[in-house]
Structure formats: structure tokens, C-alpha cells
Chain A
């Protein structure tokens, strides 16, 4: 039921035809393939890095970190960044899928509700005025900033009688993000060392937080994904138009509220974990739609798998491209992802919303 299209879920279940069965098979087949790719990328993320570690050392090290000298590199660096990549990638992919469906805008990314700007301002204030430098402090500041920014956007967007419509939310989000960005820049200009520290944070890194941060934020991301799944049916209906959706039994306001909650929790957590990483939330839903068409449930399922694929592929590439230095994942994501998006555009596979 979870991945049913709205038309089917709102009408009596149709008798499965050969055609729907083929479509289901194709969607499942690609999803299994994407999951295999993700498993392979996780393995690559643990096996490949700036320091060559013999393949034979990897498994024993995972079981007993002190078995070889390389233990600290595998368990201390590569495992945490792989876990962070999995969590943040899934969160960004799903948040992108929800926000594009919510705004009915294929150019929307999770940052459009002011999430990144709110997180950045909170971290800037913490660093500039409270001398915060501990990694754990950034985490909760960023998450709180993201949530506060979205609540403000929501209050502005929902202040009219017709409620938080997509257009009002988008405009409120763009406006609030611009104001918050301006405040951040002003503070940073007045506190030059904060400017430098924020430049590092702003490029995004899977090493920004330790494994314990992933454990702390992981449940928030799981809740966000669950909310996105619950909202997915309503979003499918909203895609047809508010009136039709209402006649199909969808309560537009509840769906929108759920969607905004989901995006805030997901994008806020991802930004708190790895910094503001663009492009994943924009591109992944396009790839998913190219495969499954406009079925929100399926798009979310694919985004959960494809988001981490892109983030981990970018991170592994960033480790080997400029040896012995590493490129921050935020810089590489667009490098790795853009060719795929361009290919989709060329083959006219970009599905409209």
C-alpha cells in the first residue's frame, strides 16, 4: 500500500494487469540494483582512502581494531564517515523528494525553507559570540537553528487564510533565508576568524562529526523519513491540485504540515551532521522520478538509497582525487552528480512534477 499511486489508493483496488505487474517488477528491480550499488559504495568507503590499507586487513580490523596498525584509520575515520554519509545522504535525498513534491517545483531543494541559512546563522552566532569550537556544540546549534528558521518561515507562510501553500512557503523561505544569510555575513565580516571557521563548515564534510553524533541524530532522521512516508500519499494527491485532493479525501493542511516537519527534521539533521551540502536534495529526486515516474512513495524509497550513493561516491572520489590531501565532500558532490543529471536532461528523462 505504501507505494501505491494516489489514483489507485483513492479508488477500489484494480485487478493487477500484466502491465502493472511489469511496472512493479521494473521498479523493484532497479531498487534492488541501487541497493547493491549502495552496499558496494559502503565497502569502497571503508576500503579506499588517502592511506593505502591492504584489503586483507580490513575485515579483521572491523572485528578487532587493534589487530593491525591501520585499525585507527578504518574504525576511527572511515567507518564514522561512511555512517554519516549513509544517514545524511538518505536524509537529504528524502528531504529533496518531499520539498519538490510539496512546492511542485523541480528546482526546489531542502534549503528553500531556510533550513541551511538557519543552521549557518546559529553556528555563526555560537562561534562568534560564545567561542564555541567543540564539535558536539555545532551539532545541536545547527539543528536548533534549522528548526527555528523553518518555524519562522511556516508562521509567515501560514499567516494567510488559505494556509501554508507551496508558493507562500517558498517565497517566505527565500525571504527568511536571505535575511538570515545577511545577518550571518555581517557577523562574519565583523569576526574574521569566525569567517574562516564558517568557510570550513560551509564546504561540508563527512568528518565534521564523530560517530556519536550519528547515533544522537539518527533517530531524528528516522522520524523524518517516517513522516515523509506518511505524507507521501497526500503529496501525490496535492500534485493534482488542492480541490481534487480534497475531493479524494486528502486534507491538504495536514499533508503540508507533515511535509514541512519532515523536511525540517531531515534537512536540519543532515546539515547539523555534515554541514550544508547542496545538490543531493536537488538531484536525487530527479533520478528517482526518471526511474519510477511521479509516484511519491517510490520516489522516497529510491531517494533513501540513491542519496547515500551520491554522497559516498563523492566522498570516496574526494579522498583519491588530490592525494595526499582530501577534497571536502560538499565540493565533490556536484562534480560527481552533475554528469548524471545532464545525462538525464539529454535523454529527456527528467520527469515533470
Chain B
């Protein structure tokens, strides 16, 4: 009896606490209303889910995908919440700024409570399946804008959409010019090398026994195409925008590549399982590897102009070695 009574008392106390919290929330929401009226001006932007009304000048942005996060940081905007797919994947140029930010997506799981607690006035993301699933719930917290993730999207889609959401067009134009100038410079300087080099793009993946071949429409592929590079059969034969999983036994698929670009962590170590591929005699015997033209880039999954400028630097380091 005694325990039951105590249990009831605890329940009552908990109920009381909940009520007090609810009242407190109501009372604090009043000044919040004033804030809202100060930035009441809205505008409509284009998203993967159609036109969405967002604050004209968002102040507290939560970014739930690395592409939008990297673009925001590139434009000088620090979000109040970001995703965490692993610190080693965050390019060095963003790492110091990314680290202290509250992490609201971890291991592909979106923490809605954390996002709500941050009281964002805009949530930015990418229309990938695991985020698409929680879109209705995110929309209930704050205006939510996803950039499209389809066969027409390239890495450049994400800075373009993100710039639109936060009024950063001047900065976007400036970055785009830097990128275009660098593409022009490298493609001119290394025209001979680019003409005679066929590229393959790979990463280690996570399933033992397989590595992944990337298509020429993925991030590195798009930058290489802009430079006027040619592709080896493995990358050229992979469906647009995708990657295909291939057995370790099939390193021969890379035998016509003169240069190979792979994914590396921000500390320069090979990312994911690729060390296992590198250890195989079949890989070490490849012409590109023997020529020292198997090169890593931490910007492999670029989501911003600075990342793609980083890819150009990595490619240039390989081009320098080609006589």
C-alpha cells in the first residue's frame, strides 16, 4: 500500500511539474511573438516540395544535410544546428566552425526534439529519402526547405538553392566566378595532360568484399568534366549520378584508368573501407597506382563551391605528376 501511495504521489508531482512547464512555455511564447512580428516579412522560395513561404531574413537556421551545411558555412552563415555523419568527413576548411554547433542529425536519425528546442526560423536540407520521411514533422517546427535530389542535381545545385534561401546571391556569384576562373586556368595549363588521361572515381564503401565505382555525374566527375577530362570505362559505364558496388576480385575494371580519384578523410587517411582495397595485389598492380596517380580528396562528396575548388586542387596535384 505504502509503495502504491508513494507511486501515486510521484505521479502527481510529475503531473504538476509538467503543468508548470507548460505554463512557463506559454508565458515565454509571448515575447517570442514580438520577435516574429519584427521579422514577419516572408517570401516564397522554390524547393523540392514546391513553393514554401520562409522568413525574408532567417536568423536561426538548422541545417540537416552536409551539402546545405557546407554551403551555409561557405556563405559565412553559421547554423544553430547541423548534421553529424562523422567528424572525419567534414572538410578541414569547415571543421573548426562545425565542431561547436549543436548536432541534430546523427547516424541518419533526425532528433526532432533537439531541433524544436533550438527554435529555428528556417530548416534547410536536401530531399534525400531519410530526410524526406520526416519532412512533415520538420515543417511543423519551422518552415522547411529541401533542395532537390534527383537525376538533374549536381553539387552546384546545393549552393544555388541554399543561397536563394538565405539571400546570399552576391556571395554565390563571387564563389562561382572563382570556381569558373580556376576551371579555365587548370584546363588551359594542363590541356595536354587532360587530353591523354582517363580517370576513374572510387571509394571504399562499407561492405567487406566490395568497393564502389562512381559515375562521371557525381561531384568529382562533374568537376573533371568541367575541366574537359576523359573517363575510364568503369566510371563512364556507371549510371549517371550513381555508384556501383563491385567485388574486390574486379580490380581489373580499373585497368584502363590512367588516374584514380578516391575518398579520403579530413586527416588525409583513406576513407571508409578503401584501405582493404589498397592492400590487394590486384589494386597495387594497376597502371594508375604504379604511376603514383591514385589520389585522394577530402572534398569527394562536395556540397559547396569551396569544396569543389578543393577537388580541382586535388586533381591538379595529379596532373602535375603527368609528363
* 0/1 string, B74-107, CB within 8 A of A gives 1: 0000000000111111000000000000000011
Cross-chain contact A72 with B245 (CB below 8 angstroms) = no
Cross-chain contact A192 with B107 (CB below 8 angstroms) = yes
Number of chain B residues whose Cβ lies closer than 8 Å to a Cβ of chain A? 32
Given A51-B247, A192-B84, verify A326-B210 contact (CB < 8 Å): yes
Min CB distance, B246 to chain A, in Å? 5
Cross-chain contact B276 with A77 (CB below 8 angstroms) = no
Cross-chain contact B285 with A72 (CB below 8 angstroms) = yes
Selected from B84, B209, B244, the residue in CB contact (under 8 A) with A205 is: B209
Cross-chain contact B106 with A319 (CB below 8 angstroms) = no
Min CB distance, B276 to chain A, in Å? 7
A213 at the interface (CB under 8 A from B): no
Cross-chain contact A205 with B207 (CB below 8 angstroms) = yes
B109 at the interface (CB under 8 A from A): yes
- Stretch in B5-13, B249-257, B293-301 touching the partner: B249-257
B282 at the interface (CB under 8 A from A): yes
Given A50-B247, A77-B248, A77-B280, verify A328-B207 contact (CB < 8 Å): yes
CB neighbours of B250 from chain A (8 A): 50-51, 324
A162 at the interface (CB under 8 A from B): no
Cross-chain contact A193 with B249 (CB below 8 angstroms) = no
Given A72-B282, A72-B285, A76-B280, verify A207-B248 contact (CB < 8 Å): yes
A135 at the interface (CB under 8 A from B): yes
Number of chain A residues whose Cβ lies closer than 8 Å to a Cβ of chain B? 33
Cross-chain contact B208 with A328 (CB below 8 angstroms) = yes
Given A188-B107, A193-B89, verify A200-B206 contact (CB < 8 Å): yes
Complex CA gap A325/B84 in Å reads: 29
CB neighbours of B128 from chain A (8 A): none
Cross-chain contact A196 with B86 (CB below 8 angstroms) = yes
Cross-chain contact B208 with A205 (CB below 8 angstroms) = yes
Min CB distance, B313 to chain A, in Å? 24
CB neighbours of A188 from chain B (8 A): 107
CB neighbours of B109 from chain A (8 A): 189
- Tell me if A's interface is mostly helix, strand, loop or mixed: helix
Cross-chain contact A199 with B206 (CB below 8 angstroms) = yes
Min CB distance, A26 to chain B, in Å? 39
B134 at the interface (CB under 8 A from A): no
A124-181 contacts to B (CB < 8 Å): 133, 135
B275 at the interface (CB under 8 A from A): yes
Complex CA gap A76/B247 in Å reads: 13
Min CB distance, B206 to chain A, in Å? 4
B197 at the interface (CB under 8 A from A): no
Chain A residue at minimum C-beta to C-beta distance from B245: A325
* 0/1 string, B258-284, CB within 8 A of A gives 1: 000000000000001101100011100
* 0/1 string, A68-79, CB within 8 A of B gives 1: 000111001100
A111 at the interface (CB under 8 A from B): no
Selected from B108, B246, B275, B276, the residue in CB contact (under 8 A) with A324 is: B246
Cross-chain contact A135 with B276 (CB below 8 angstroms) = yes
Complex CA gap A77/B109 in Å reads: 36
Cross-chain contact A324 with B253 (CB below 8 angstroms) = yes
Given A191-B86, A193-B85, A193-B89, verify A324-B206 contact (CB < 8 Å): no
Chain A residue at minimum C-beta to C-beta distance from B283: A72
* 0/1 string, A232-245, CB within 8 A of B gives 1: 00000000000000
A61 at the interface (CB under 8 A from B): no
A218-268 contacts to B (CB < 8 Å): none
CB neighbours of A325 from chain B (8 A): 210, 244-247
Complex CA gap A341/B217 in Å reads: 46
B275-317 contacts to A (CB < 8 Å): 275-276, 280-282, 285
Selected from A190, A203, A207, the residue in CB contact (under 8 A) with B106 is: A190
Cross-chain contact B249 with A73 (CB below 8 angstroms) = yes
CB neighbours of B253 from chain A (8 A): 324
Complex CA gap A277/B273 in Å reads: 20
A208 at the interface (CB under 8 A from B): yes
CB neighbours of A208 from chain B (8 A): 208
A195 at the interface (CB under 8 A from B): yes
Cross-chain contact A195 with B210 (CB below 8 angstroms) = no
Cross-chain contact A51 with B208 (CB below 8 angstroms) = no
Cross-chain contact A192 with B206 (CB below 8 angstroms) = no
A349 at the interface (CB under 8 A from B): no
A197 at the interface (CB under 8 A from B): yes
Complex CA gap A323/B250 in Å reads: 10
Complex CA gap A195/B276 in Å reads: 19
Chain A residue at minimum C-beta to C-beta distance from B109: A189
B89, B208, B245: which has the most chain A beta carbons within 10 Å? B208
A285 at the interface (CB under 8 A from B): no
CB neighbours of A328 from chain B (8 A): 207-209
A49 at the interface (CB under 8 A from B): yes
Min CB distance, B303 to chain A, in Å? 16
Cross-chain contact A49 with B247 (CB below 8 angstroms) = yes
Cross-chain contact B207 with A203 (CB below 8 angstroms) = yes
Complex CA gap A1/B89 in Å reads: 60
Cross-chain contact A192 with B85 (CB below 8 angstroms) = yes
CB neighbours of B85 from chain A (8 A): 192-193
Complex CA gap A275/B209 in Å reads: 13
Selected from B84, B107, B207, B249, the residue in CB contact (under 8 A) with A77 is: B249
* 0/1 string, B203-227, CB within 8 A of A gives 1: 0001111100000000000000000
Complex CA gap A71/B282 in Å reads: 9
CB neighbours of A77 from chain B (8 A): 248-249, 280
Complex CA gap A71/B280 in Å reads: 12
Min CB distance, A323 to chain B, in Å? 8
Given A200-B273, A326-B248, 4 more A-B residue pairs with CB atoms under 8 Å apart are A49-B247, A49-B249, A73-B249, A326-B210
Q: What 5 pairs between A and B have smallest CB-CB spacing?
A: A193-B86, A50-B247, A205-B208, A72-B281, A325-B245
Binding site for A on B (CB under 8 A): 84-89, 106-109, 206-210, 244-250, 252-253, 272-273, 275-276, 280-282, 285
Interface pairs (16), CB distance under 8 Å: A50-B249, A51-B247, A51-B252, A189-B109, A192-B107, A193-B87, A194-B86, A196-B86, A196-B272, A200-B208, A200-B273, A203-B207, A205-B207, A325-B244, A326-B210, A326-B247
